[in-house]
A and B are shown apart, each in its own frame.
Chain A
Amino acid sequence: MNSTEVILQADKIQKIFPSKEGDVRAVDGVNLDLISGEVFGLVGESGCGKSTLSRLLLRLLDSSGGSIKFKGEDITGFDKKQLKMLRRQMSLVFQDPHTSLNPRMTIYDNLARPFKVHNLAEGREEITVEIVRLLKSMGLQAEHMIRYPHELSGGQKQRVVVARALAVDPEVVFLDEPTSALDVSVQAKILKLLAKIKDEKDLTYFFISHDINLIRVISDRIGVMYLGRMVEQGEVAGMFKEPMHPYTRGLFSSVPEPTPARKLDSVLMGEVPSPVNPPSGCHFHPRCPEKMAICEQESPVFNYRQGRKVACHLYNLD
């Protein structure tokens, strides 16, 4: 990663879903810079808004506030035609390979759609050659083309899903828990494949996972989300060496480590509150071991502290 060009930038981005019990602030003012060529890992527990954030950045969901810039251009106001162009530049890999391919289309048809939609290849011959090339680069065979999704294993399907995301030759690929539905032995293969492709094609990855060990392996930088807000963001090595936000600290120490000698010690207490009526001020204050008076009243700003971005009042004092 030699350049520091920001390819995707989110500024105070918000998403509010109306629900029976009240408004849910799924994403609540998140700032984010995605640097070209990096793997950005996003972690957080279920319901923290990480999937919603990715859909907002991809413009698959309309944001309720804030701005998103792709290569310096605000994409929140894009019209249909511009969005179609954007779809060629950013693509998405889903969590569950069993549900993300059209079950009534063969693998060929599933993979041919991106080429046809964007006129990337003409005629059956050219498309077929392209698809076989894609399949081979994913470690699949030409014969898989004529299969239906239900005839493939989970790992094979996930390769097809990755292939579809790459068919448009994108610059940024969003990976939403791409290996969590797979077994460990398959997971390693997909991760290696993703890393290889990234180097070959010079891609930028936005990698979402609840598996902290996994994020640590694959990311250059990581961001931690809690209840719709980004609480900490920084280089992967530094983050794990010295997590600054109390939530990050608690989360990381909850991770079971496969070293027989180390045992879980300081774990987070309590549970994630409902996003309908989140706690005032810093959302984390009811569970925070280092809570101060100000935490209940004011939301901490997300800003640089010691080479890292943290949203915590602890680091506001100095």
Chain B
Amino acid sequence: MNKKFLLNRFGRTLLTLVGVSIIAFMILHLAPGDPARIMLGQFATEENIEIFREQHHLNEPLPVQYGAWITGVMQGNFGYSIRYNRPVHELIWTRMWPTLTLTVSALVLAVILGFTLGILAAIKRNSWLDYITTIQAMFWISIPAFWLGILFLYFFGLRLRWFPIGGMAGLASLVLPVFALGLREEAWFARPMRSEMLEVLNQAYIRSARARGIKERVIITKHALRNALIPLVTMIALRLPWIIGGSVVIEVVFAWGGMGSLLVNSVLARDFPVVQAILLLISFAVVMANLFADLLYSVIDPRIRLED
């Protein structure tokens, strides 16, 4: 890795960000018909629609509209929510923390559980633990997040009454959503971790370390794990959009007041300034996570590290 590579990588990131913002902006113009009418609904008066058009520069050509919108965004001004009649950034600010709490907790749960199971399955290959890991992972990835949420809500909330069935009342109310989200994601880490670990354990350098009489424990925890973890870093970044996507549904099921439920409500209410803002923020986070993963990768893998 060298300076040229870094510049190239940053250039790509910037390009992606521009593209992402264009898509977020264009969402509204995707539909046939008048965006103003789409947003205000079919019962709005001509007069109101005209005022709305003026307010949102909807009479200008598209590039000008985009320019106005993106300049606003860069100053932290995402426009006004039609439904709540409040600045979008205020709305999002209050909703962001619950979502972050949920997704980060679920991610941590998924990574810890997934990595552990994957490593153990690889070491004890073809044992009952290996089979169980594989089968349970298969089941988790075959279950839709919203249904898992409903099942949890029914059994642990309604039937057993161990946890609250919704809302954001303290730590207890976090348990069900985090598990509903995290357990499914665990499967996406356990399987790659297992196969990565198996592949590394098959490498010549592991065999040659064994031939030198190095303890099996050291071979696994030092020689193998260090190599197997490198590609898994990228895996975390790759799964990020899916975790965020899953959180939207989980938030709806558990009435969790985060960005996800705000997004669903805004889409249903055709409150597009909010939708655009959330799309933009989430994709921004994903792009940055990918960039970070790439850079981290080059730090932990000496093969692509900056030469001195």
A contact residues vs B (CB 8 Å cutoff): 20-21
Neighbouring A residues of B139 by C-beta, 8 Å:
none
Cα distance A20–B6 when bound, in Å?
A: 12
**Nearest 4 pairs between A and B by C-beta?**
A20-B5, A20-B2, A20-B4, A21-B2
Q: A20 contacts which chain B residues (CB < 8 A)?
A: 2, 4-5
Residues of A within 8 A of B2 (CB): 20-21
A residues within 8 A CB of B4?
20
Bound Cα distance from A20 to B2, whole angstroms:
9
Q: How far is the CA of A21 from the CA of B5 in the complex (A)?
A: 10
A20 to B307, CA, bound (A): 13
Residues of B within 8 A of A21 (CB): 2
Q: Give the docked Cα–Cα distance between A128 and B227 (Å).
A: 53
Q: B-side interface residues toward A, CB under 8 Å?
A: 2, 4-5
A44 and B152 alpha carbons, distance in the complex (Å): 68
**In the complex, number of A-B residue pairs with CB atoms less than 8 Å apart:** 4
**Nearest CB of chain B from residue A194's CB, rounded to whole Å:** 34
A240 CB, min distance to chain B CBs, angstroms: 37
Q: Can you give 4 A-B contacts (C-beta < 8 A)?
A: A20-B2, A20-B4, A20-B5, A21-B2
Whole-angstrom distance between the Cβ of A188 and the nearest chain B Cβ: 31
Q: What is the CB-to-nearest-CB distance from B240 to chain A, in angstroms, rounded to a whole number?
A: 28
Tell me, in angstroms, the Cα distance from A21 to B306 when the chains sit together. 12
Min CB distance B303 to A, Å, is: 13
Q: How far is the CA of A21 from the CA of B3 in the complex (A)?
A: 11
- B5: chain A residues at CB < 8 Å are 20
Q: How far does the Cβ of A277 sit from chain B's closest Cβ, in whole Å?
A: 13
Give Cα A20–Cα B4 distance, bound, in whole angstroms.
8
Measured between C-beta atoms, what is the minimum distance from B28 to chain A in Å? 42
- How many angstroms between the C-alpha atoms of A20 and B306 in the bound complex? 13
Closest to A21 in B: B2
Least CB distance, A3 to chain B, in whole angstroms? 51
Closest A residue to B1 using CB positions:
A20
A292 to B105, CA, bound (A): 69
- In angstroms, Cα B2 to Cα A21, docked, is 9
CB distance from A19 to the nearest CB of B (A): 11
Shortest CB-to-CB span from A21 to chain B, Å, is 8
Give CA–CA (A20, B303) in the complex, Å.
14
Query: Roughly how many angstroms separate A20 CA and B304 CA in the complex, as a whole number?
Result: 12
In Å, the complex CA distance between A120 and B230 comes to 54
> In the assembly, what is the distance between CA of A20 and CA of B7, in Å?
13
Looking at the assembled complex, report how far the CB atom of B4 sits from the nearest CB atom of chain A, in whole angstroms: 7
Tell me how far the C-beta of B294 lies from the nearest C-beta in chain A, rounded to whole angstroms: 15
A180–B5 Cα gap in the complex (Å)? 37
Please report the C-alpha to C-alpha distance between residue A191 and residue B5 in the assembled complex, in whole angstroms: 47
Q: How far is the CA of A21 from the CA of B4 in the complex (A)?
A: 10
Closest Cβ of chain A to B136, distance in Å, is: 36
Min C-beta distance of B6 to chain A, whole Å: 12
A48 → B minimal CB distance (Å): 24
How far in angstroms is the closest Cβ of chain A from B12?
Answer: 15
Q: A31 vs B4: C-alpha distance in the bound complex, in angstroms?
A: 35
| Distance in Å: Cβ of B302 to nearest Cβ of chain A | 16
A24 to chain B, nearest CB (A): 16
How far does the Cβ of B70 sit from chain A's closest Cβ, in whole Å? 34
* Distance of A1 Cα from B260 Cα, bound (Å): 82
Quote the shortest CB–CB distance from B305 to chain A (angstroms).
14
State A152–B2 Cα separation when bound (angstroms).
46
Shortest distance from the beta carbon of B2 to any chain A beta carbon, whole Å: 7
State the CA gap A297–B2 with chains docked (Å). 30
Bound together, the chains give a CA A18 to CA B2 distance in angstroms of 15
Q: What separation, in Å, do the CA atoms of A20 and B5 have in the docked complex?
A: 8
Shortest distance from the beta carbon of A22 to any chain B beta carbon, whole Å: 10
CB distance from B101 to the nearest CB of A (A): 42
User: Nearest residue in A to B307 (C-beta to C-beta)?
Assistant: A21
Q: Which residue of A lies closest to B5 (CB)?
A: A20
